[in-house]
Amino acid sequence: MLTIEQRAGKIELIGFDVDGTLTDGGLYFGPDGEVMKRFSVFDGHGLKRLMQAGISVAWITARQSRIVETRAKDLGIKFIVQACKNKRASLDQLRTELGLEWDQCGFFGDDWPDFPVMREVGFAATTGTAPLQMRAQAHWIATRLAGHGAARELCDFIADHHPRGLPAWQA
pLDDT in single tens digits along all 171 residues of the chain? 899 999 999 999 999 999 999 999 988 888 887 778 899 999 999 999 999 889 999 999 999 999 999 999 999 999 999 999 999 999 999 999 999 999 999 999 999 999 999 999 999 999 999 999 999 999 999 999 999 999 999 999 999 998 876 656 554
C-alpha distances in angstroms, 107 versus 12, 27, 66, 68?
A: 11, 22, 22, 18
Query: So what's the pLDDT on residue 34?
Result: 72
Query: So what's the pLDDT on residue 166?
Result: 63
First to last CA, the chain: 31
Give the residue extent of every domain in the chain.
Answer: 4-163
Query: So what's the pLDDT on residue 150?
Result: 97
- State the Cα–Cα distance between residues 53 and 171, nearest whole angstrom: 9
Query: So what's the pLDDT on residue 163?
Result: 86
Query: So what's the pLDDT on residue 155?
Result: 95
CATH dotted code for 4-163? 3.40.50.1000
Residue 8 near residue 114, CB atoms below 8 Å:
no
R_g of the chain, CA atoms, integer Å: 15
Query: So what's the pLDDT on residue 32?
Result: 80
Residue 121 near residue 12, CB atoms below 8 Å:
no
Query: So what's the pLDDT on residue 171?
Result: 45
Burial of 82 (0-12, 13-18, 19+ CB in 10 A): middle
Burial of 113 (0-12, 13-18, 19+ CB in 10 A): middle
Query: So what's the pLDDT on residue 100?
Result: 98
* Residues 6+ positions from 3 with CB-CB distance below 8 Å: none
